[in-house]
Each structure stands twice: as structure tokens, then as C-alpha cells.
Structure 1
Amino acid sequence: MVLSEQIRAEMDGLIDKIRLDQCDDGSWRYCFESGPMTDAYMIIILRTLEYNDEDLIKTLVNRLLIKQDSSGAWKLFDDDSGNLSVTVEAYTALLFSGYIEISNEKMKKAEEFIRQNGGLESVHVSTKFMLALHELYPWPSFFPIPLLLMNVPKSFPLSFYKFSSYVRFHFAPLLILGHKKFTTKNKWTPTIQHLFTNNKLKKISKKRRFPAFKIPFIKTFSKIGIKKAEEYIIQNIERDGTLSSYASATFIAIYALLSLGYEVTSPVIQNAVLGIKSFLFELDDSHHIQNSPSTIWDTALTSYALQEADVPLNDEAIRSSANYLLSLQLKIVENNSTIGLGGWGFSDSNTQNPDVDDTQAVLRATTTLSLIDDDYRKSWNAGVRWLFEMQKKDGGWASFEKNSSKYLKLIFPIQNFVDTAIDPSTADLTGRTIEFLGSKLKLNMNHPRIEDGVNWLINNQNEDGSWYGRWGISYIYGTWAAITGMKAVGIPSNHPSIQKANSWLLSIKQLDGGWGESCKSDIERKYIPLSFSTVVHTSWVIDTLISINDYPTSEIDEGILNILNWLKTPDKRMTYPTGGGLPGHFYINYHSYQSIWPLLTLSHYLKKYKTSD
């Protein structure tokens, strides 16, 4: 069979599978699969609240046991030697469950790994925070992020509102808990003092307060700050009961509300638990609590991929998905009044917080329909306006914020603070937004916004020719987004930046003819190859090379053949995490990606080369 026929056959198979996966409401609901954190925290919160759902607890215990490595550790990705923080979280959750004894052989192995890797003292700050809530780790004498931030005016550089929205949802409850040094303990709370390697920390002291909090002036401002933080939490609770559709933020919010005197039986806490439970996804071998269901993201990208594969607009799969997406466009609200339509969020339960990436993805999926339907056109035009409004002063685009304060990173020396609290322009957001504006709006370098965006990309290219991608793994991801964006707005292939990137991509080709990048790149901030290629990374690279080359090269053809072959055998090439969340702590295996990105790359190959071999 000639290559073009092989490609078409594989595309048809992917399209058929995607059709079967579509839900009745027009959406695609694939699993947003991450590490053990959400499953562990769900067990802990259910036991903390003494919430009666033994079936769920047993299900999550099974999930954690399945995911434990033979070394005793839990991993975030295949080539990880074991992650100390998530191992402590999983270990603690299993003890909380009451179904696993501390003497269990699996627990003994986990204990050995924890102690050999520095003990509780060496875990991530977020893990220490969780442990402190249960009197399993000492609260610091002075919490590094003061509650007084809530009282700083919005216009000030160090205001709470200068943090990215993603972080605000987590920090509002965290500020309350850190200030109050709240703890809770019941019959389910385990003892894990044996996991300390420093004897001085084994005895957990009671609440230790910074003396300034006793000063009347400070005390008054603290009360005001607590009230503002509480109001922020309540205002951002979604209809499903979660805090802005994040399980991680909702977990912290439950503790914060308990610290403020809310009863376990109060509707806000009970609804929060129900909201997190609704994130449960049934997998082949277990069940997993998703941190934030990726329904809008998956639906938009899947619809776009189908259209790129020439599925017609009048096809029910396209129409129903577009109607679904249209219904979820968020409104722009100022002073409690709706002033227009804006962008889209990541999860379908998110009704308040749009982001650039999901907005450009939805706009891609609805562009052609907007040309023939007035309802789509109105929605689409509003989304494009919002996207332009989100461009930063430096010319790039970030995820959530138009302009965030650069001074925050100088004040708070906290693990991963810059990765989360600051929302700078990134190559992946800038590249994809430019690609959309070029391929769908036909804008080019004659447009000043495009010129600014391209200049940002050129100025932020790494010396080796790559770009770092914030929300994917990692340098392959960023380089794919940057180059396909630049090509879409008319940058010629002989441009030095593109040639430099092309050389870099070819230089990191694996011996098996594909491409694969380790999640360690995200941690080390330099490209680190995997020992094997992945379908998603190879699809991104081949898509990039297709955009650069007028004719198929040997590397492109070899990559295409590899994609075709690897799709036939689901294994780690398909399941390795290629989504980034928090460097060193949170990675995502998007179950949608194993269909979306190969389908797009195969479609682009046929469209550009129309090869018949």
C-alpha cells in the first residue's frame, strides 16, 4: 500500500474511533490523568470529614496500590526514579484509609524510599502544607505569604490580584490556613513521625504565631484579610460546588472553611465534596480523580482535528460539538453587570475564568461555521476581540493574565512560585495564538499585533534553536508552537530562527526515527531526551517539519511511518505524559492527545504534499 493510502486508512480509523467517543451533548470527555495527588487527597478529605463513601475510598486505595512502583515509590512519569512528595502523599492517604496496615510490605517499601530520600523534611512545600493541616508536620513560625496581601489595593504591584487567577484560587484559602495555622485530627489520622530523619522535627509543636499578629493594628487588618479571602472563595465556587473547577483548590478551600467555623454538614462543604466526586473518571484498570476535567479543551481540539481531516461542516459530530462549545462561552462581567461575551475556560463547569489557550482552540473549531451562521459569527467575533485584548505589552500571550506583576517573584522565595504565581508570555501560548490568527484570519506581518508576537518569539528563542513550552513537554512542544505560528503568518522557511529550530529538531531525532522528550526537561529547564519516542512528540515534530518544507523529507516520511506503526500498539509511546502543569510536581497524560495530534499531523501531510508515492 502506498504511503498516502496508509495515511488515509489510519485517519479513517482515528475518525471512526473519535465518533464513537463523542457524548450525546456533543462533547468529548477524555481523561485528564495526572499523578497520585488528587486520589490521595480525596481519601484524606473524606476521612477528615468522616464522609461515608467506603466504595470510593476502596476504589482510590486500589488506584494508589496499582500505581506504586516496585521500588516502593510513586512516580510522576515513566523515567522518574520515584517522587518523594507524591510518595509521602500516597503513603499518608493509604494509612488514612484504614484499609492498609503500616506493616504491609508495600508500605515498608514506601517507608524505606521516603527515608532514603530525605524524609518528610525534604518534601515539596505543598505536601508539607497538607501534612501540617493534620498535625503531621510543624507549621512555620512565620508563614511566607502574609494574609495582609488581601488588603493591598488591586492597583499595587504586590496586590493579591497581581497573582495569576489559577494561583489566586489556591492562595485565598491557603492564606487563611497559613495565618490561623489550622489543624484537624480525628480517629483516622495516622502517625507518620517515623518518616522524619531529623529527630528535632518529630515532636510537632502546637500553633506557633508570629508576635506581630497580636498587635491590635495587625489583628484588625488580619480580620479584614480573612473576610476578604473568605468572600473570594465563596464568590468563585462553581455550580458543581468546586472552587473554580480545580480539585486541588477545592481541597484547600474545604479546610479553610472548616477553620472559619463552617460545619462539616454545611451545604458549601457537602457540595464541594460532591463536586470533586464528579471529577471521578473510570479507566480500564482503576478510577481516577481528575484535577480539572479537560472537556472544553478536548472538545475544541477534537472538532478542529476532524475538520482538518476533511470531515464536513454539516456532519453531526461537528455541528453538535460546535453547539456545545458555543453554549459555554463566558461573559465579561464588570460591577456585577454583563458587558459582553469573552473567552472560554478549560472545564465545562468553569463559568468565570477564561484562558487564552482554550479560547484560541474553540475559535479554531468554530471559524468556518462563523462564516455561514450569524449565531456563531457573533460568538466568534467576541472571542477574537477578547483574544486580542489579552496580548501582553511585550507582544506575547500568557494563559490567564494580560499583565501580571514581575515584582512578586522577588518577594516570595517559595518552591515553584514563579511557575505558578507569575503568568508571563510563553512560546506555546504565543505561537498557537499567532498560528490561529494567521491560518484562520489570514493575518500576517503587516498587522502590528502579529509583528509584536513574532518579535517576542524571535527574541525569546533559546541559543540552541528551541523554545520552552509551559503547558506541554516541553522544548519540543514550545518549538512546535513557535514555528507553526511563525509559518502561518508568512515567515519564510529560510529565516534564521526557523532554520535554527529546524536544525535543532533534526539533531534530537531518536535512533528509532521518532522524537521523545522527558518530563525532566521541565524540571532542569533544558532538553532531556527520553529513551524512547512518543506518538505525541513525534506528531508535533513532524507537523513542524511539514510547515517548514515544501516537499517531504526522509525524516518526515520516516516519522509518518513510525506514527502509523506506533498507533497500532498502545504502550508507553502513547501514554507517557506530554502535558505540563507544575514542574517537578504535576504532569498530565491527556487521553485525547493520542488521537488528536496524530490525526492533525497526518492530515497536514496529505493536504500539503498530496503524495501518491
Structure 2
Amino acid sequence: MSRANHETQGDRERTLQRATTWLLDEQNEAGWWWGHMYTNVTLDAEDLWLRELYGTRTPELTEAVAHWIRDEQRDDGTWATFPGGPGELSTTIEAYLTLRLAGDSPDAPHMAKAAAFCRDSGGVEQSRMATRIWLAVFGLWPWEDLPVLPPEIMLVPPRATLAVPSFSGWSRIALIPLAIARARRPVHPLPFDVAELCGGVPRPAPDHPTFSVENAFVRVNDLLAHYERRPLKRIRALSQRRAENWIVDHQEVDGTWLGVHLLSVFCLLGLWAAGYPQHHPVVRKAFDGLRRFEVWDDGDDGPRRRMECVTGPVWDTSLAVIALTDAGVDPGHPALRTAASWLLGEEVSNRGDWTLRRPGLAASGWSFSFDNDIFPDCDDTSTVVAALRRVAGASPADRAALDGACGRGSGWLVGMQSRNGGWASYDADNNSAIVGKLPFCDFGEATDPPSADVTAHVLEALAGELPAGHPTLRRGAEWLLREQEHDGAWFGRWGANYVYGTSAAIVALTAIGVPADARAVARGLEWLCQHQNDDGGWGEDLRSYHDERWRGRGVSTPSQTAWVLMACHAAGYPVEDERVRRGIDWLVGNQRPDGTWAEDVYTGTGFPGDFYMGYPMYRQIFPTMALGRYLAGAGRSSTVMAT
């Protein structure tokens, strides 16, 4: 090895050493890793509004929230759904209303700029459904102008097209409490209005083809509006009771719903509309649960508070275990055993909503958050199974516990495969093309169909659990191959975007035995390599979800660069390959002295086109994985990461 090559290899090993040391130091003594996620200010706004309704809003909290929201405003007066993204109307309206509640004058320059943007973008008339529901709650929008979603939906037979099980897990949790609020039409007036946000042009009447599903729903909505004026009292009372009971029954151990902040706020809004007081046990428990989402820091003008959208210690921990073992940490290292022990304790033993489609399947799986037992998901379960397989038990009993959990988890994953061969997040066969066309559903996805990235992660995990050629693997691979797009890429449902989906698909297909020179894999690799940036890294802007011009394009990021490098490694690209070398050099050159990488953009997706998330652990975990896999193949000293 030449002196230059020796120095290059040394730089890479030191980069990996620093990254691994940082990860080990960040582990909680209980065994988990958890990075506080970022999203947009609508969470902060709606959380404060909820406390206004329940009478728990304080001046100190209001100012801390307002401080955060002011700091997030951009120079053009707007707020966006992700850093660097365009101003977004509903987000800006909600931020503005919150600052009005905090006492900011509409004549203040920062407020006037925001209001001008809202008016120029069509005003509150063009805002999304959830925003207008909140405006109706505060007497700033007429309830009658909102689409109808009657609580009588609770009485629809479970197997009917528009029954509650036809909606995704997250949609159920949102729509049921909002149906209660829409039916009761409560008003909590504020001492001001927001006329300055109105665009002056009514929402245009829907103009769908005469024989379309959308047009049929518009006509049904007109009929339901007539029913809403004089509903059948006994039927309405029964349906509202069932809706309230459903909400209460689906409250998690930690007081939240699905471990998601926004869904928990919606449920509390529905319970408030139903008359539940602040001191009710369910409400009190929920507010206790909301505390876990709080993130406080010190701003220039005092304390600031923001809200996480969701806590993800199971996801972060399982990925961290995989990263550390990729980096060469001994499988019996105390940090890994502690993490495995914590993960074992997080296995779900309850029979949750997934049994609506899979009633005979034995309970197992893992959820995203700390104490959520109703909604395990396939993505977390696959990463936990893969992580646990990497850990060495301290005793035969420990190994048996790990094997048992992996067996139950993989069995649950096999049972959650949809009929078309793919895997979704929370449900199986939840892919109705009709429910998402309801007028009430204008934000996010109303169903939970299989996605390429979740399917890829499950296949990658099951490749180590099932024999080669197993029908489950074959059907999953066939579905994944059908989903490849015209240019060789795969769509990324839960990560940004085609870079995420394509990298995951390549890793999975090669894991189950598809050769790297197979046409689908080769096309995917070619697409990735074509989108390498001039600086050697990879990145993709979140605008690619609705603008083809951003497809595979964006500023280089540590996580996205690592995703591509892992795909190249899975396909057998050597470290000497020019594209691989440049990608590794980008990671080495952009590491900070403390062993971390900076990632100021979001690379996580909640709802494509609508809601995005920044995962602080991604910038650390995935580069550690990629460097570990490549350095292991390049003759790295086996003692570098052994302790």
C-alpha cells in the first residue's frame, strides 16, 4: 500500500472511530438511543391552541412557544414544512394565529409580511381541512362550510368499503375525533378575528367528472349536510358514544395515541368537543403523555419550546445496533447487550388494530415509540429483528430469548404480508382507492398500502430468517420489482425520496439472492450513480415528491450519501470504484471534530407532499453503517472497533 493510500485508509478508520465513539457515548443507561425529531410549527401552534381550549395555557408557556415560532419565520414572512422549502399557506396561517394569541400585533412588520403572503396565496379560504377545523373551533370559520364526516361512520359494518378499518391506523385516530367535533360544532371564541388573512375569493365549487367517485362523494356530502341539520337523535347519540369509547380504548399506556403528537391533539380536541373536562382521567393522562414531546432550549430572548411529532427510540436504537456492529463493535459488547435487553422489553404482546385484517396471527412486533402497544409496525419490527440477530447473548438463556423474539417478530412479519406481496406500515391489505377521495381527506394519506421502502426493509430482515426461495420472499421480491419506475428508481414513502427507496430496494434484492447484474438492480444502481453530486455526495430535496425536476437532486447530506453507499456495497462495488471512493471521501471530509455530521435539511417523510421530519440520528447512524461496511471489506484492522 502506498503512503498516500495508507494515509487515506487511516483517515477513514479515524472517521469511523470517532463516529462509533460518539454513538456509544450517546446511549442512555437504560439501553436506548433517541434523537429529538424536527418538523414544522403547526405542532407547536395546535398544541398551544389545545391548552387554550382546556384552560391550561399560561403566559410563560405561550411566550416560549411564540419565541420558537418567531425564530422559525423566514425573511419573506412565511413558514415552511421543511428547511429550505417554499412558504406554505396553512402552516403560515397557523403560525400567525398563534402569534396573535401570544399578543403580537397584526401591524408588526413580521406579522404584516405573513398576512400578505396568506392573502396572496388565497387566504384562509384555500387552507387545508385541519386548519379550517381549528378556525371553526375559534369562531373564525363557519362549521357549515366544512365537509361532513358524521360519527355514524362508527356504525358502518367493519367489512364495508367506508368502515373504520378501511382507513389507515393514523387516519382512524384523526378522523374519529374530528367527526365528533364536526357533529357537535363547538365554538371557543377568541378576542380577535383574522380578517387580514382572508383572500376574498370563496373556495371554488368541486368540478369532478359526472360519473367519478369524487363527484359521488360531493353529492353524498350534500345529503349528509341536510341530515346534519336534523340527525336521528338515538342514532347520533349511539354513534357518538361509540366514537368516544373508541378514542378511550385506543389510548396508549403513555397517554398518547399511536405515540404521535398531532394525533393525540386531535383526540383531545374530540374529547373536548364531547365535553370531557381537563380533570377527566383520560384527559389528564393524555396531557401527561404530551410532556414527552416537549423540547426546551434557550433562545436569544429567553426559553423556547417546540414539540416533537413523534418519539422514535425503538427505531433509533435498532438502527444504532446495526450501525455499531457494522462498525466492528463486538457483538457481545455491553452496550449492544443492554440495547438488546431494552428492545426485548419493547416487544408488543397485545392484539391491536392489525387483527382487523389478520385475526389469526399471533401477537408480536415492535412500535416506533416508548410505550405503544396497539400499533406495532412492519418497519420497526424488521429493523429490530435484524438488530437482535447481531447481538451475542451473555448466556444460553439470553440467546434463547433473542432467538425467540426474532422468531415471533419474523412470524408476525410473514403474516402481515399483503395479498399483492408487499408490506405496509401498520396494516395489511389496507389499500382502498375510494376512502382517500372523501372530501374530508385533504391531508396525508387515508390508507396504508404497501411501500417499496417498508417492503425492502422487511425482505432484508427476512432474508436472514427464511430459507432462500421461500414463497414469502419470492412474492415480496416480485411486488418490489413491479414497483420499479421507468427510470430505474423506486419511490420512497418514509424517507426522501427516490434515493431512499432505490437504495433500500437494491440492498433488499441482493440480500435475498438477486444478482447485482440483474436488470432491475443494475438499472437502480445506474440511476443512483447518475445522480451523484459534483462534491461526491448524494442528496434529494423533498420537493421531488411533487416536482419531477427535483427527482434525485439536492444538496449532499450524510444520510442520503450513506444510503447510496450501502446500496453500492450490497451490489459488490469495491471501495476502489471511483463513485464509491468519492462518496466515502465526502463523508470523511464532512465529519466534524466531535465525530458527528451536520444535516440541516430533512430526509424523513411523514406524508409525501404534506409533512416531513428531520431525524437527528440519521446523520450519524447511516454514515457509520456505510463506512463500517466498506472498511470491513477494505481490510480494516479487526481491533479498531472491538472495544
TM-score (norm 1): 0.92
Residues in 1 aligned to 2:635 and 2:499: alpha-carbon distance in whole angstroms:
26
Residues in 2 aligned to 1:597 and 1:199: alpha-carbon distance in whole angstroms:
48
Residues in 2 aligned to 1:9 and 1:573: alpha-carbon distance in whole angstroms:
18
Shift in CA distance, 47/73, structure 1 to aligned 2, threshold 3 Å? same
Moved more, 335-344 or 556-565: 335-344
Moved more, 520-529 or 224-233: 520-529
* 2:274 is the alignment partner of 1:250: no
Match of 1:394 among 408, 413, 420: 420
Shift in CA distance, 515/123, structure 1 to aligned 2, threshold 3 Å? same
Residues in 2 aligned to 1:464 and 1:356: alpha-carbon distance in whole angstroms:
28
The aligned runs of 1:277-296 (5 Å cut-off) are: 277-282=291-296, 286-296=304-314
1:508-566 Cα distance to aligned partner (Å, 9 max, x none): 22222221111111234675354521111111111111222342310000010001112
Match of 2:579 among 555, 558, 576: 555
Amino acid at match of 1:365: A
The offset of 1:14, in angstroms, is: 1.1
The offset of 1:567, in angstroms, is: 2.1
- Partner of 1:345, secondary structure, is coil
1:232-253 Cα distance to aligned partner (Å, 9 max, x none): 1001112332223221112112
Residues in 1 aligned to 2:131 and 2:189: alpha-carbon distance in whole angstroms:
17
Q: Is the CA contact 2:123–2:197 (under 8 Å) kept in the aligned structure 1?
A: yes
Aligned to 2:623: 598
Aligned to 2:10: 5
Aligned to 2:41: 36
Match of 2:372 among 335, 339, 350: 350
* 2:68 is the alignment partner of 1:63: yes
Higher relative contact order (CA 8 A, sep 6+): 2
Shift in CA distance, 184/413, structure 1 to aligned 2, threshold 3 Å? same
The offset of 1:297, in angstroms, is: 0.9
Q: Is the CA contact 1:158–1:405 (under 8 Å) kept in the aligned structure 2?
A: no
Moved more, 471-480 or 115-124: 115-124
- Partner of 1:606, secondary structure, is helix
Amino acid at match of 2:586: N
Residues in 2 aligned to 1:588 and 1:385: alpha-carbon distance in whole angstroms:
30
Shift in CA distance, 213/409, structure 1 to aligned 2, threshold 3 Å? closer
The offset of 1:104, in angstroms, is: 2.1
Shift in CA distance, 405/461, structure 1 to aligned 2, threshold 3 Å? closer
Match of 1:447 among 470, 482, 485: 470
**Runs of 5+ consecutive residues of structure 1 not aligned to the other structure:** 202-207
Moved more, 517-526 or 424-433: 517-526
Q: Is the CA contact 1:143–1:179 (under 8 Å) kept in the aligned structure 2?
A: no
Residues in 1 aligned to 2:151 and 2:246: alpha-carbon distance in whole angstroms:
13
Shift in CA distance, 29/184, structure 1 to aligned 2, threshold 3 Å? same
Residues in 2 aligned to 1:392 and 1:425: alpha-carbon distance in whole angstroms:
7
Q: Is the CA contact 1:443–1:489 (under 8 Å) kept in the aligned structure 2?
A: no
* 2:470 is the alignment partner of 1:470: no
Residues in 2 aligned to 1:358 and 1:127: alpha-carbon distance in whole angstroms:
31
Moved more, 517-526 or 333-342: 333-342
Residues in 1 aligned to 2:550 and 2:409: alpha-carbon distance in whole angstroms:
34
Shift in CA distance, 83/287, structure 1 to aligned 2, threshold 3 Å? same
Q: Is the CA contact 1:245–1:350 (under 8 Å) kept in the aligned structure 2?
A: yes
Residues in 1 aligned to 2:198 and 2:623: alpha-carbon distance in whole angstroms:
47
* 2:544 is the alignment partner of 1:521: yes
The aligned runs of 1:220-231 (5 Å cut-off) are: 220-231=234-245
The offset of 1:196, in angstroms, is: 0.5
Q: Is the CA contact 2:125–2:199 (under 8 Å) kept in the aligned structure 1?
A: yes
Residues in 1 aligned to 2:74 and 2:597: alpha-carbon distance in whole angstroms:
15
Match of 1:568 among 577, 580, 592: 592
- Partner of 1:287, secondary structure, is strand
Amino acid at match of 2:418: K
The offset of 1:282, in angstroms, is: 3.6
The aligned runs of 1:39-118 (5 Å cut-off) are: 39-98=44-103, 100-118=104-122
* 2:442 is the alignment partner of 1:437: no
1:71-120 Cα distance to aligned partner (Å, 9 max, x none): 1001222331211111111111111123x222222111111221122211
Match of 1:425 among 450, 458, 465: 450
Aligned to 1:332: 350
* 2:338 is the alignment partner of 1:317: no
Residues in 2 aligned to 1:215 and 1:65: alpha-carbon distance in whole angstroms:
44
Residues in 2 aligned to 1:272 and 1:106: alpha-carbon distance in whole angstroms:
34
Aligned to 1:204: none
- Partner of 1:352, secondary structure, is coil
Residues in 1 aligned to 2:352 and 2:59: alpha-carbon distance in whole angstroms:
44
Shift in CA distance, 209/390, structure 1 to aligned 2, threshold 3 Å? closer
Q: Is the CA contact 2:597–2:620 (under 8 Å) kept in the aligned structure 1?
A: no
Shift in CA distance, 410/583, structure 1 to aligned 2, threshold 3 Å? closer
- Partner of 1:149, secondary structure, is helix
Moved more, 120-129 or 553-562: 120-129
1:476-527 Cα distance to aligned partner (Å, 9 max, x none): 1000111100011111111110111111112222222221111111234675
1:123-160 Cα distance to aligned partner (Å, 9 max, x none): 22222222222112222446343333211111222211
The offset of 1:61, in angstroms, is: 1.3
Residues in 1 aligned to 2:436 and 2:609: alpha-carbon distance in whole angstroms:
21
The offset of 1:420, in angstroms, is: 2.0
Shift in CA distance, 411/429, structure 1 to aligned 2, threshold 3 Å? same
Residues in 2 aligned to 1:532 and 1:369: alpha-carbon distance in whole angstroms:
35
Aligned to 1:193: 195
Residues in 1 aligned to 2:307 and 2:618: alpha-carbon distance in whole angstroms:
19
The offset of 1:357, in angstroms, is: 0.5
Shift in CA distance, 406/463, structure 1 to aligned 2, threshold 3 Å? same
The aligned runs of 1:115-264 (5 Å cut-off) are: 115-141=119-145, 143-187=147-191, 190-198=192-200, 210-214=225-229, 218-264=232-278
Aligned to 1:308: 326
TM-score (norm 2): 0.88
Amino acid at match of 2:324: L
Amino acid at match of 1:422: T
Residues in 1 aligned to 2:436 and 2:251: alpha-carbon distance in whole angstroms:
31
Residues in 2 aligned to 1:209 and 1:340: alpha-carbon distance in whole angstroms:
40
Q: Is the CA contact 2:84–2:601 (under 8 Å) kept in the aligned structure 1?
A: no
Shift in CA distance, 209/488, structure 1 to aligned 2, threshold 3 Å? closer
Match of 1:509 among 525, 532, 535: 532
Amino acid at match of 1:322: A
Residues in 2 aligned to 1:339 and 1:587: alpha-carbon distance in whole angstroms:
32
- Partner of 1:492, secondary structure, is coil
Q: Is the CA contact 1:520–1:584 (under 8 Å) kept in the aligned structure 2?
A: yes
- Partner of 1:29, secondary structure, is coil
Shift in CA distance, 333/583, structure 1 to aligned 2, threshold 3 Å? closer
Amino acid at match of 2:424: A
Shift in CA distance, 403/199, structure 1 to aligned 2, threshold 3 Å? closer
The size of the alignment, in residue pairs, is: 599
- Partner of 1:404, secondary structure, is coil
Shift in CA distance, 30/271, structure 1 to aligned 2, threshold 3 Å? same
Shift in CA distance, 37/569, structure 1 to aligned 2, threshold 3 Å? farther
1:357-376 Cα distance to aligned partner (Å, 9 max, x none): 11111111111347751222
